[in-house]
Structure 1
């Protein structure tokens, strides 16, 4: 399908100064699109300061003239959540605030609401040989995934009655220049040259490069067939953790230092020290089925996996040199 960017009107992007949000705004600028960047604290004249969206927010000034919202702002997944009631904290931002924004968007005449959810709605591990799909029964395992599922359910129930075109996107791990958290730690480990006991792991993981996610979100904002549906997205190139480390090492010009330790032994050791969930992100299979996006929307990831890894590594190395 030919992309017709000029048919897309003004866009409100929430979470605009985050990892995904900043890349999305850059993508809109590159396409000459008009947008409003909503951030927690304003640092530029062209931004809308939303503050803490868990509290009341008057979105009317930001929504004025917009026909599309791409809602990225969220309370992100945390490894060590210090909240006394994590589910309530996640729900306040990821579900309650999302529905409040959608209600105001509909009142302001917004046509389409694109909601960035998470593969964690599906679960933490996909069955062997059967990637997660949007039709699977949800099985979130933590408060973050539960809050995203609740947002999806409440939006799906309410949006049709309000005449709002709802699009839900569930990405797996997102990587790219400037990535942080677990992927950044993996980059640091590979750069250090420390041997990693993952050479025998033959799992399969879906990931999505930031450029590909941005491209897909923009397609979902404009494609007529994207509305009223939930979409899985990835690079359409699944890899094992050993293959991922190999790709990172190759981009760094280093050998991949991998020890062949049986995955069952690694899993047992992690369980003994209370680290099984963390080990699962390295050892378990988590795949998503992007066939509907390829067939129904005609989407093709514009950046190949190897190129996305190379860009990520190049930025990582340059940032290290600059420090």
Structure 2
């Protein structure tokens, strides 16, 4: 296949190129255009306006977007300009070109729910909180509003809602947590009992290639590993990768909530947003994507994928 990937030079895009380049021809669409093995050519966003610039492709994977700013320093309109309006622009390009048969949009689990009681499934009534999730669900709704047009042109659209994606080279909260534990600082949040779903990049690549190359019905699909892990288990995995003994302290929850609120005011590494992310329950079901791909288990075990990520941090 010939595949156009927006945001191709980002973390997920770079991993998808590695996974797909042997069997497929990859073109990129990004704000930067370094030469990279596996990418035939990277086009600019202005090229999207010119039909003679981008060659005919079979599929588009839309990754480009504004990631969640945990410091809450990004204006709301920036999220909608990038996550919603840019998605509309790319999707309209997809609809206008008969040769492009498949469109994969990377949304987020946060478009469905900011908090989860029980297990998150695709049939939940979306209730995002904040401009990040709200801008993603607005993009989803635009795609879904065009499904009659999609079907009439024998095209397919896949909306992926991944939980936190990680893999070699990934930066973010997991990297921050790794560096804290690496310094030998005891983990003070052991009193918080929680479980959450993570998404190994290997499982992302498997699912993307699956929907591109198999006869998979259009729709919304949660993305995540088979096993949910607690933050305490995550700390243990980090210590395992470092060859250290885990030091987990069960300090009172009220005390740690107070420290987090102080962090909000003083811009400390532990703030209310990070505390919530580190201690909340957020379990997402991946049953639907496994069913359409015809597998009982995703190829990458949660702990094995996590160890690969942690190894890259070293």
Matched, 1:139 2:127: yes
Taking the TM superposition and a 5 Å limit, the aligned residue runs for 1:1-323 are 9-30=1-22, 32-44=23-35, 46-51=40-45, 57-58=48-49, 60=51, 63-83=54-74, 86-109=75-98, 110-127=100-117, 130-162=118-150, 163=153, 164-225=155-216, 227-271=217-261, 273-274=263-264, 275-299=271-295, 300-317=297-314
- Mapped contact 1:64–1:108 kept (Cα < 8 A): no
| Aligned counterparts of 1:41 and 1:120: Cα–Cα separation in 2 | 27
| Aligned counterparts of 2:174 and 2:24: Cα–Cα separation in 1 | 31
Three-state SS of the structure 1 residue aligned to 2:113 is coil
| Aligned counterparts of 2:211 and 2:255: Cα–Cα separation in 1 | 43
User: Deviation digits for residues 67-87 of structure 1, max 9, x if unmatched?
Assistant: 11111011111123544xx23
Q: Size of the alignment, in residue pairs?
A: 300
| Aligned counterparts of 1:82 and 1:306: Cα–Cα separation in 2 | 33
Output the aligned Cα RMSD.
2.0
Three-state SS of the structure 2 residue aligned to 1:311 is helix
CA distance 1:286–1:250, change in 2 (3 Å) = same
TM-score normalized by structure 1?
0.87
| Aligned counterparts of 2:76 and 2:214: Cα–Cα separation in 1 | 34
* Higher mean C-alpha displacement, 189-198 vs 156-165: 156-165
Three-state SS of the structure 2 residue aligned to 1:224 is coil
Displacement of 1:265 in angstroms is: 4.0
Three-state SS of the structure 1 residue aligned to 2:146 is helix
| Aligned counterparts of 1:61 and 1:262: Cα–Cα separation in 2 | 63
- Mapped contact 2:4–2:27 kept (Cα < 8 A): yes
Structure 1: gaps spanning 5 or more residues: 1-8, 318-323
